[in-house]
Structure 1
Amino acid sequence: MTALDLTLVGAQVLTETDGLRSTDLSIAGGYVVDARAAKVVDLSGFFVLPGIVDLHGDGFERHLAPRRGAMKQMNEGVLAAEAELAANGITTAVMAQFHSWEGGLRAPEYAAQVFKAIQTVQGDVVTDLIPQLRFETHMLDDYAGLVERIRDWGVQYLVFNDHLPHAKLAAGKKPPRLTGQALKAGRNPEKHLEMMQEMHRRSPEVPQALDQLCAALAEEGVLMGSHDDQSAEGRAIWRARGVRLSEFPETIEAAEAARSGGDPIVLGAPNVVRGGSHNGNVSAAELIAMGLCDALASDYHYPSPRRAALMLAKTGVLDFSDAWALVSSGPAAVLGLMDRGTLKVGARADLVVLEQGTHRVAGAFSGGRISYLNGDLAARLIG
């Protein structure tokens, strides 16, 4: 599909300097331009906003593996996920895939299939899809060759996780949900527990292994982040390794440490929509009000970035421009994608069109190409 050559008139457009205002917007060749196009479309009754840049989302899992064992058409799953992304106004999407001892949909071999599928369909999708690897820090046997594997997978964005229940393991107690987790991973529960205990036992080896791995990844130019930071000390340790992105910090202390160190902070949009964390961590809205957020991510729910930005504006936590920046220019800057996130002349023509009355997504354009189109907007464009 070629990029459209259009001038949109009558809409409320989110401009870079003047906020929402009624103005014309022209796109051509995949970019925002200042020359008026031959085809003019009246978008009265709509908002035209920068497309959503989603820094971290795993909502695609339900498409790639709709039920246990149904994982044989990965390419079709990625295409279905892209349709959902576009329908929610997401024009650039980071697809976050685990590489974890937890197995199942988080298993290393499954991750390889997911990344291969993303590579395979890149030429068939409109939405810009970016793979992210979520690597479990205590998988020491998997460090060897990891840099080469992520190079083959086309991964340039990695986040470190540690989901081992260390407190339970240190106390010699059986972790909760052990049996169900083991069965999902296709393991005997006793063997699963032994594996967890062995990884916990080797914890003293992890820091040095991480130092070496992070240095190698930095040489490859990989963007690195830490997940669920809990303390200022922990954030400082990650920063010293070149792991600058703080993804979903769990405490105000960790978020403040990230801000004071100049590290970008990513929070979960569902946390904003829900009014708090589902597991008792610090409220994202509270951190945003404190100025401790650079970007909101879908996490597990693709409608949430749009809903969270609108909610922050409606409740007065931020003005509309600043609220929308958390799902557009903010995450674009974190990713180093300075060609998108705003609707200024010369920017990539990534935009989302919302109905003014309902705030529902009516259309999405990525690189000037239509990724989603619905209702009255479709009629106007076709007409």
Structure 2
Amino acid sequence: MTQLPPLRLTGADILRDGEMQRRSLAVENGRIARGPLPPVDMTGYLILPGIVDLHGQAFERQIAPRPGTLLPVETALRATAREAAAHGVTTAYIAQRWGWEGGIASPDFAENVLQGVSDVAVAALIDMRAQLRLDTHTADSQQRLLHAIRRHGVDLVVFHDTLGASGQWSEDPALQARTLGVPLAAFEAARTTAKGQSRLVPRHLCQLAEAFDTLGVTYGSHGDMDGETRDRYRLLGAYVAECPADPRAAAVAHATDGPVILPAPALIQDDPRQWAMLRRGLCDILVSDCHYPSLAHAAWSLVDTGQMDLPRAWSMISATPAHLMGMHDRGRLDHRARADFVVMNATTREIELTVSAGRLAYLSGEAGARLMASLSEARIAAE
């Protein structure tokens, strides 16, 4: 990674204090700074806070590009970091399943991914962290789970009931087994074992909630099918509603001050249910889910359809998720904040620069050429 020298980006429209402002942005020692630093002209560009993505599953395509093919975890995560940076993500939560299904959703595989994130994060282009999507019917691995969370510093977990009302794998177990990379017989046996834990689930979740509160883990639920399900999780302390499957669940979350997270790709695909929740004001945060380019694209879709202005739309992928996770040093371009930002072509809306903690994570286009020319001139002058 290349640490930027002290510099000041000028001529751009910058998102600051909830509005677009024509002003300069100074960067020094990985932080937003002040002062008369060497200028770099960014006329014709927008400078926006780096994207904070709380739920990214695109790495699964890098690990398992097709059924039956598994590539090294670290190689996949490094490629994922580069892909995320290219689309403006400066803080990326890798969403890994911890479930009963086996294969790439098993505790064994989850531990490999958590270790991979820990290893790759040391030298990654961006800030990489892990989120766990925890199947509720995993009481038999509770202590193993808590050990993994402590060891790897996992600070975001969502509960997901794949055997209750959602029952999402029951319709085509053969397809799911093939996707996970496990024999159908093994998948069905695991499902039977998981169903046998049903009576243990309520106590299991209560114990986890108590442990998460102690550990400072933010937790919620994934894919709630109705308002009653969301309310049950809320009573546990799981306030975050991630990708609710029904507007009633999102409505209950908002009525009880719980943030609602929706997948950005669904908006790009014009999913009517997701758009209905958004138009009703039942969405606080957008996540990449399986597709990093959708984050910026979705923000602009909200602008182009008249739902909200750019500062508010962009806050759904920057300031608001950062606030939820207590990351008060990012998601905004304030003095002394972490220098996480993107430089976007105002005409094409293409991201041409991504900077994470003052380090170059992605560089392209005219903005990249201007930056490199300025740095070359500074080196020649210094010599």
Same structural fold, with TM-score higher than 0.5 when normalized by the shorter chain:
yes
**Matching of residues 27-38 of structure 1 within 5 Å:** 27-37=27-37
1:308 aligned onto 2:298: yes
Distance 1:167 1:363, change over 3 A: closer
| In structure 1, C-alpha distance between the alignment counterparts of 2:187 and 2:68, rounded to whole Å | 20
Match of 1:362, SS state, is strand
TM-score by length of 2: 0.91
Distance 1:274 1:6, change over 3 A: same
TM-score by length of 1: 0.91
Q: Is the 8 A contact 2:226 2:248 kept in 1?
A: yes
Distance 1:72 1:254, change over 3 A: closer
| In structure 2, C-alpha distance between the alignment counterparts of 1:330 and 1:103, rounded to whole Å | 34
Selected match of 2:363 from 373, 377, 380: 373
Q: Is the 8 A contact 2:303 2:313 kept in 1?
A: yes
| In structure 2, C-alpha distance between the alignment counterparts of 1:252 and 1:175, rounded to whole Å | 23
Quote the residue 2:240 is aligned against.
245
Q: Is the 8 A contact 2:101 2:191 kept in 1?
A: no
Match of 2:143, SS state, is coil
Write out per-residue CA displacement over residues 277-315 of structure 1, whole angstroms, 9 at most, x where no aligned residue: 6xxxx22x3222222221100011100110000110111
Deviation at 1:167, TM superposition (A): 8.0
Task: Give the letter for the 2:41 counterpart.
Answer: D
Structure 1 gaps, min length 5: none
1:320 aligned onto 2:321: no
Distance 1:381 1:148, change over 3 A: same
Structure 2 gaps, min length 5: 374-383
Quote the residue 1:217 is aligned against.
212
1:23 aligned onto 2:23: yes
Runs of 4+ in 1 over 4 A off after TM superposition: 67-70, 165-169, 183-188
**Matching of residues 8-87 of structure 1 within 5 Å:** 8-17=9-18, 19-37=19-37, 39-68=38-67, 70-87=69-86
Task: Give the letter for the 1:101 counterpart.
Answer: W
Distance 1:184 1:251, change over 3 A: closer
Deviation at 1:269, TM superposition (A): 0.6
Write out per-residue CA displacement over residues 247-304 of structure 1, whole angstroms, 9 at most, x where no aligned residue: 0112222111111111111111111111116xxxx22x32222222211000111001
Match of 1:296, SS state, is strand
Distance 1:107 1:214, change over 3 A: same
Match of 1:133, SS state, is strand
Quote the residue 1:345 is aligned against.
335
Match of 2:308, SS state, is coil
Deviation at 1:168, TM superposition (A): 7.4
Quote the residue 1:233 is aligned against.
228
Quote the residue 2:379 is aligned against.
none
Distance 1:167 1:157, change over 3 A: closer
Task: Give the letter for the 1:12 counterpart.
Answer: D
Quote the residue 2:263 is aligned against.
268
**Identity of counterpart residues, as a percentage?**
35
Aligned length: 372
Match of 2:170, SS state, is coil
Deviation at 1:211, TM superposition (A): 0.8
Which moved further from structure 2: 118-127 or 299-308? Answer: 118-127
Deviation at 1:64, TM superposition (A): 2.7
Q: Is the 8 A contact 1:112 1:153 kept in 2?
A: no
Write out per-residue CA displacement over residues 344-370 of structure 1, whole angstroms, 9 at most, x where no aligned residue: 222211101111111011010011111
Cα RMSD between the aligned structures? 2.0
Match of 1:313, SS state, is helix
Q: Is the 8 A contact 1:165 1:175 kept in 2?
A: no
| In structure 1, C-alpha distance between the alignment counterparts of 2:116 and 2:50, rounded to whole Å | 24
Distance 1:112 1:333, change over 3 A: same
Q: Is the 8 A contact 2:103 2:182 kept in 1?
A: no
